[in-house]
Structure 1
Amino acid sequence: MRAAGAWGIDLTMPQSLVLALHLRDAAGLDPPTSPLLPALPPLDPPVRRLTAAGGLSGLDAASRQWADWWVERFPGGPDALTSILPPGYPGLRGRTELRGVAELGMDEAVTWCTRVREVEKRVVTRSPSALFETNLLEEVERELGRRIRPFSLRVVVLPVAGAHAWDVLGQAVISLGLRADRDAYLTWLRERLVEIGRQRIARSEGQST
């Protein structure tokens, strides 16, 4: 959490979503997109493909089940994580094909997730601090001509390839590559802060009338 006074920015990489993306890539799933599931690039670094005696089967069904799970559990959290983990895989009940993929690939997904956490730590070490974000907020407030009312911006960070950002029904989602690019991250953050400021100004003016 980065905070200044009554505002805060919380960047989080939900382990449940990272594990799910690893299963997607490792099994070669092609889940249908939706307002809650944009076309997310493959993970970076790339993952090793799953192998099974006789090959993987039921991948079309597993792809649909994966998309359903994502929509149910996005943007992640404790319930989302426990739903996809062994031994019970409670969130995969009735999703036989996807559970088969999870049983085959979860150990490697957990190992990969641990490694990418180390990458995330290095990115955070090199990336903008609270001072950069505070200065950026003050710049936006000067542009808007007033203080921005208290807010909390939660940002989901995903370790997918490239520098990307999505607005998933109001939830900010960015790639770790965008987070790692200081200038690109600050440009994206500035746009979000301007949007937040304008929304709060409009709300305040509406209440005053």
Structure 2
Amino acid sequence: MDEAFPTEDSGAMQDVGAWGIDLTMPQSLLLALHLRDAAGLDPPTSPVLPDLPPLDPAVRPLRAAGGLAGLEAAGQQWASWWVEHFPGGADALTSILPPRYPGLTGRTELRGLAELGMDDAVTWCARAREIEKRVVARAPSALFETNLVTAVERQLGWRIRPFSLRIVVLPVAGTGHWDVVGQPVISLGLRADRDAYLAWLREQLVQIGRTRIARSEEQNT
């Protein structure tokens, strides 16, 4: 595969003892969001597709002789692609890559836009990765998260059972967060705000701790 399309998501995995926190920014979702913004698509929302803000940095609009056509159909096709491939990964990335665009088979209008805008999308993604690296360099380390887990355990009054928390990070505007059918999604802006990120993460850990102890009690009754 061309080096312009990395298959590994960059992010940080904090693994301490019996728990792990994995922050990932899937390349497939970046490419898809760039396509959405560049083409000005207005895809319908769903439990798997919240109303995500535009990308930050903003993208350059797609240009085509005679203008862009089939945008309504492309918006519907974009939403269906997202539902099929969220939260990303190797298969999702392969599905949206040239020259075959296998995930866009039957999505004629969307494929046409992808062919028109893929070069710009790859260039934009490289820029977003550089911003992500700077954010990660300043973000709370595993020590902060370890201390936070300990603090939450004190608050709850019991040890949190082993867990793995995968967090999708997207470079969209603002400091938002979303629960996408049980999958936590946060903006890169929230990740960059140490206090806001740790406050959000505390809520996630409290929920994990309470959910797991509740399940354990149900199994013992």
Report the TM-score, using the length of structure 2 for normalisation.
0.94
Superposed displacement of residue 203, structure 1? 1.0
Other-structure match for 2:120:
108
Other-structure match for 2:176:
164
Other-structure match for 1:201:
213
Name the CA distance, whole Å, in 1 between partners of 2:79 and 2:28: 14
Name the CA distance, whole Å, in 2 between partners of 1:195 and 1:175: 20
Other-structure match for 1:125:
137
* Selected match of 2:24 from 6, 9, 12: 12
Superposed displacement of residue 61, structure 1? 0.3
Name the CA distance, whole Å, in 1 between partners of 2:181 and 2:40: 26
Name the CA distance, whole Å, in 1 between partners of 2:219 and 2:78: 43
Matched, 1:84 2:96: yes
Name the CA distance, whole Å, in 1 between partners of 2:106 and 2:182: 30
* Equivalent AA in structure 2 for residue 31 of structure 1: P
* Selected match of 2:34 from 19, 22, 46: 22
Superposed displacement of residue 118, structure 1? 0.7
SS of 2:73's equivalent in the other structure is: helix
Other-structure match for 2:147:
135
Other-structure match for 1:190:
202
Name the CA distance, whole Å, in 1 between partners of 2:213 and 2:156: 9
* Selected match of 2:165 from 153, 156, 181: 153
Name the CA distance, whole Å, in 2 between partners of 1:204 and 1:34: 32
Name the CA distance, whole Å, in 2 between partners of 1:122 and 1:172: 22
Other-structure match for 2:63:
51
Report the TM-score, using the length of structure 1 for normalisation.
0.99
SS of 2:52's equivalent in the other structure is: coil
Superposed displacement of residue 4, structure 1? 1.0
Percent identity over paired residues:
80
* Equivalent AA in structure 1 for residue 101 of structure 2: Y
Aligned residues: 209
* Equivalent AA in structure 1 for residue 27 of structure 2: Q
Other-structure match for 2:5:
none
Runs of 4+ in 1 over 4 A off after TM superposition: none
Matched, 1:60 2:72: yes
* Equivalent AA in structure 1 for residue 205 of structure 2: L
Instruction: Tell me how large the CA RMSD over aligned residues is.
Output: 0.4
